[in-house]
Amino acid sequence: MTLEDLRAQIADVMDLDPADLPDDGNLMDLGLDSMRAMNLAMAWEEQGLDLDFADLGETETLAQLWALIEARQSQSGT
């Protein structure tokens, strides 16, 4: 996964243009509710990404979420 993949997937469930999803904007304030976050977490799990619903709750911004994903991808070697 790349940052742009992540941005596109989150923007899609929030009905936003990816360009309208800033790195430092609070995802919940921008419209990412718990149901959408749960759907994203399930989709990412199916893709093999080590990320769950609790991780989304602990990260406020796209940049924070991306940093977590990068760290997990580095640990797993993907």
Helices (H) and strands (E) in the chain — how many of each? Answer: 4, 0
Task: Describe the crossing of helices 62-76 and 3-13 by its angle, rounded to 10 degrees.
Answer: 130
pLDDT tens column, 44-60: 989 888 888 888 888 99
Q: What share of the chain has pLDDT > 90, as a percent?
A: 71
Amino acid present at 26: N
Say yes or no: domain 3-76 is CATH 1.10.1200.10.
Answer: yes
Domain boundaries, the chain: 3-76
pLDDT tens column, 1-52: 899 999 999 999 999 999 999 999 999 999 999 999 999 999 998 988 888 8
- Position 4 scores a pLDDT of 96
Q: Is the pLDDT of residue 75 over 60?
A: yes
